[in-house]
Amino acid sequence: MSEQLLLSNIRNVLARLEETIIFELIERAQFKRNDIIYQTEAFGSVLGGESLVGFHLLEIEKVHARIRRYTSPDEHPFFADLPEPVLPALYYADNPLQPNSININNLIRDIYETEIIPYICLEGDDKQYGSSSMCDVTCLQALSKRIHYGKFVAESKFRSNPTGCRRLCAAGDQAGLMEEITDPEVEDRVLERVAFKAETYCRELSMEGAGPKIDPGIIVDIYRQWIIPLNKEVQVEYILNCFSTSG
């Protein structure tokens, strides 16, 4: 099995991503909701019909696409029709994933803007549109990578039990697959680790006199309510799409 599919290695990647996600959620929570930055055409036609966050995200992705970020199997853009890379193509000979087009970034962005932002930010408008948008873009990209890493988790779990997974696929048993890929003990450890990191960051900020405007428990709730379930949704979709007809 490819080293990329060792669950210990996968969990190390996901643990590192926690740092970015937790920090950016804390950063974003210092600003108010600033709902205007999520409204299309709120700043006129100069943004091409996108919201400020959408425009910001698209422009960042254009740059990243040109340096071939989205040729990597663990990266997923929020926008299509991005520029071609200016760097020569890389061949990922050790890519363990099956060919697939699974990308739930539209769902991730919608949940982030309509559910997570109201959950972590105080209602109101403080005019900090640029700073809020910068936090949003970084957080969205980290959330996307963390959630879509479910493909690697799913590939690893499938190889551990191909017979059982194929049987569930053949029956179209999504609930059975969800049960198959769910490990409550691992999920509990993730939540415990996130709680420890969030509490540590918040405590250090408080000691520096810049106390965070978010309760560490809210960050744990975001993992529990959205990040872990969406990761598992990707896992089930990957197994169903890639192994339903495989022999």
What number is the average pLDDT over the span 208-217?
75
CATH number at residue 204: 1.10.590.10
Q: Kindly report, residue by residue over 101-160, the tens digit of the pLDDT.
A: 999 999 999 999 999 999 999 999 999 999 999 999 999 999 999 999 999 999 989 999
9-23, 55-69, 144-158 — which is least confidently predicted? 9-23
What pLDDT sits at residue 198? 94
Give the residue from 53, 47, 39 showing the smallest Cα distance to 139. Answer: 53
pLDDT bin (cut points 50, 70, 90) of residue 7 is low
| pTM reported for the whole predicted model | 0.92
Give the residue from 198, 228, 227 showing the smallest Cα distance to 215. Answer: 198
Domain that holds residue 111: 3-243
Ranges of H-type helices in the chain = 7-29, 52-66, 105-111, 117-120, 129-148, 150-160, 162-170, 174-181, 184-207, 216-222, 228-243
Task: Decide if pLDDT at 1 tops 50.
Answer: no
**Mean pLDDT of all residues belonging to the chain:** 91
Count up the domains in the chain and report the number.
Answer: 1
Task: Decide if pLDDT at 93 tops 90.
Answer: no
What number is the average pLDDT over the span 67-89?
94
Task: Decide if pLDDT at 75 tops 90.
Answer: yes
